[in-house]
């Protein structure tokens, strides 16, 4: 069975469950995922735009152990590797591909199955 390629909407952003290092020991807070942006192929549609890159900025809001406000952010980028289905120098994002940033925020592809590579 061929791997499934991704279209817009097939990528999920999962915020880290670990507070930002800026909060320090005893600090707390939460990460929130922003909007996922996509880079797609204008001429490849199946029924959505076939994507080769997804990006999301995650933001942290919390406090350190002294109670002072702490903010942080992390941008995570997931880029396709070379695949059988390819356009120009870019591949297509495939089902189960993922990228995790150093702070634990993650992008994961769950392809809908409309594109077979």
Q: Which residue's entry shows tokens 């406090």?
A: 63
Residue 6 to residue 111: CA distance in whole angstroms: 5
Query: What pTM does this model have?
Result: 0.88
Residue 54 to residue 57: CA distance in whole angstroms: 11
Confidence of residue 5 (pLDDT cuts 50, 70, 90): confident
Residue 68 scores a pLDDT above 90? yes
Of 18-22, 39-43, 76-80, 89-93, the least confident: 89-93
| Short-list 68, 58, 55, CA closest to 27 | 68
Contact 79, 52 (CB under 8 A): yes
């Amino acid at each position: 069975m061929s791997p499934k390629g991704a279209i817009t909407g097939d990528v999920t952003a999962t915020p880290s469950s670990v507070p930002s290092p800026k909060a320090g020991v005893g600090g707390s807070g939460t990460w929130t995922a922003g909007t996922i942006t996509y880079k797609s192929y204008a001429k490849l549609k199946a029924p959505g735009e076939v994507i080769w890159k997804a990006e999301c900025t995650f933001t942290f809001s919390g406090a350190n152990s002294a109670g002072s406000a702490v903010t942080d952010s992390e941008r995570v980028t997931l880029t396709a590797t070379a695949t059988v289905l390819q356009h120009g120098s870019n591949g297509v994002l495939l089902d189960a591909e993922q990228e995790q940033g150093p702070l634990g925020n993650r992008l994961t592809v769950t392809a809908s199955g409309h594109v077979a590579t």
